[in-house]
Amino acid sequence: MRRLITLMVLALASIEAASAAGRLEVTGAWIRTAPPGAMMLAGYATLRNTGDAPLTVIGADSEAFGDVSLHESIEIDGVARMNALGSIEIAAGASVVLAPGGKHLMLMRPKGEPKSGGSIKIHIAAKPGEGTTANFVVRDTAP
Ligand SMILES: [Cu+2]
């Protein structure tokens, strides 16, 4: 009986952890292919806050890249530039789209060559909770 109760407590604890982690939903995740030897790629996805409280995306990381950061493309006087973003706020129930020409994941120093049709795991960190790991499909063009 004691063993059963212990198992139930463990089960409840893991449901709790899953709901905190599950508040960030990542869909349509993809990485644009780059010429061989490129040291910089970009990742895109729709980030949705399925929770009932605001969520802050605070960064990202992947074993496939030396560094992953949050970026935004902007145009100033007709010149395209990129800014690093410290974080991205997502209101309860809202989505933020990472797309070409806008916000994106800057993927630096790939370890190996991302090939079209392959997929790469990227962890997106968010608070509260632990964020989510998603499979990013490597593609030549936008889906
Ligand atoms: Cu960038």
CATH number at residue 30: 2.60.40.1890
101 Cα–ligand 1 center, Å: 10
Coil vs helix vs strand at 95: strand
Residue 8 is predicted with a pLDDT of 57
- Residue 84 pLDDT exceeds 50: yes
Q: Average pLDDT of the chain?
A: 89
Is residue 128 in a domain? yes
Burial of 129 (0-12, 13-18, 19+ CB in 10 A): middle
Residue 75 located in a structural domain: yes
The number of folded domains in the chain is: 1
70 and 84 Cβ atoms separated by less than 8 Å: yes
* Encoded amino acid at 81, one letter: R
Confidence bin at 139 (pLDDT 50/70/90): very high
Domain for residue 68, yes or no?
Answer: yes
pLDDT digits (tens, 9 = 90+) for 13-39: 554 544 554 499 999 999 999 998 999
The answer to whether residue 131 is domain-embedded is yes
Specify if 96 maps to a domain.
yes
For ligand 1, the distance from its centroid to the CA atom of residue 87, given in whole angstroms, is 14
Is there a domain that residue 27 lies in? yes
Residue-wise pLDDT for 87-130, tens only, equals: 999 999 999 999 999 999 999 999 999 999 999 999 999 999 88
Determine the pLDDT at residue 103.
Answer: 98
DSSP H helices, 22-131, are: none
Instruction: Give the global pTM.
Output: 0.83
Query: Rounded to the nearest whole angstrom, what is the distance from the C-alpha of residue 20 to the centroid of ligand 1?
Result: 29
Residue 121 lies in a domain: yes
**Which residues have beta carbons under 5 A from ligand 1 (an ion)?**
71, 82, 106
What is the 47 CA–ligand 1 centroid distance (Å)?
A: 17
Domain that holds residue 87: 22-139
* Distance (Å) from CA 11 to ligand 1 centroid: 41
